[in-house]
């Protein structure tokens, strides 16, 4: 069985290194790609990346092994990708795991879910490929900068973990937040086994937890901050294996 682990906004695939290693040691295949536009060193093409770009990347990855039916795990923003992927190729998926992740409705962008005040605040702090904002002379800022590592990790993260994440946080292409998801199916999850894992020390996802419950997802929780794969990799790995049904 294969796991495909998708990082959230402001992160790279490296965030999954510990969990990926533990899953591989338990006999699973693992892929944890860095999505386009989330490279640490930006290039001019990355400014054109949108939610649709990421959905198509994941679909292409899955279609390389059409018989695998992977467990697709999406953290935070990647719940948007899981939803769009399920809408397009549900028959090629095994299970979906929303890890403290967004669950959009048809016609919603991440900005729509987060609210207009948050969107306006993000638009005022946009940066360019080099990390400069308008006040610093940026010509065409189109990336949302990350917050500090402790926002994602929670108060209990050790200094080493926080310093490592701080060095690997990246700015996020604006199009991944602003593009609305257009679904072909009213309920893209109807024929899929879906789970939601709530990180209880990150209150921002309470609304998504409720939405997952209403949709009939299997519900789990871990007492951790948002980036649970960094602070609690062993516990998360055990839970993912349990959800996969291959424990």
As a whole number, the mean pLDDT across the chain is: 94
Are the beta carbons of 18 and 7 closer than 8 angstroms? no
C-alpha 182, offset from chain centre: 18
Specify the residue for token string 């093409």: 45
Q: What is the mean pLDDT of each run of 10 residues along the chain (247 residues)?
A: 97 97 97 94 83 98 89 98 97 97 97 96 91 87 94 89 94 96 92 96 95 96 97 98 86
Tokens of 132: 């400069």
The count of other CB atoms within 10 Å of the CB of residue 244 is 22
98 has which bridge partners? 74, 196
HSE-CB of 98 using CA atoms within 13 angstroms:
33
Please give the tally of structural domains in the chain. 1
Structural domain that includes position 28: 2-244
pLDDT tens by residue, 29-82: 999 999 999 998 877 788 899 999 999 999 999 999 878 899 999 999 999 999
- The radius of gyration of the chain's CA atoms, rounded to the nearest angstrom, is 17
């Amino acid at each position: 069985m294969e796991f495909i682990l998708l990082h959230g906004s402001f992160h790279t695939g490296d965030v999954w290194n510990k969990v990926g290693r533990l899953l591989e040691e338990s006999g699973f295949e693992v892929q944890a790609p860095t999505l386009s536009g989330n490279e640490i060193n930006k290039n001019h093409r990355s400014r054109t990346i949108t939610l649709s770009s990421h959905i198509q990347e994941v679909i292409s990855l899955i279609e390389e092994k059409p018989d695998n039916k992977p467990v697709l795990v999406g953290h935070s923003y990647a719940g948007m990708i899981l939803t769009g992927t399920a809408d397009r190729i549900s028959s090629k998926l095994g299970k979906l795991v929303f890890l403290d992740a967004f669950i959009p409705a048809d016609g919603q962008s991440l900005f729509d879910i987060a609210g207009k005040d948050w969107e306006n605040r993000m638009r005022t702090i946009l940066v360019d490929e080099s990390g400069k904002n308008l006040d610093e002379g940026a010509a065409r800022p189109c990336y949302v900068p990350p917050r500090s590592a402790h926002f994602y990790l929670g108060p209990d993260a050790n200094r080493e973990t926080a310093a490592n994440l701080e060095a690997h946080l990246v700015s996020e292409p604006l199009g991944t937040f602003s593009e609305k998801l257009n679904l072909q199916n009213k309920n893209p999850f109807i024929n899929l086994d879906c789970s939601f894992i709530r990180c209880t020390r990150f209150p921002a996802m309470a609304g998504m937890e409720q939405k997952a419950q209403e949709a009939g997802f299997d519900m789990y929780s871990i007492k951790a901050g948002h980036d649970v794969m960094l602070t609690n990799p062993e516990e998360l790995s055990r839970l993912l294996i349990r959800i996969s049904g291959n424990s």
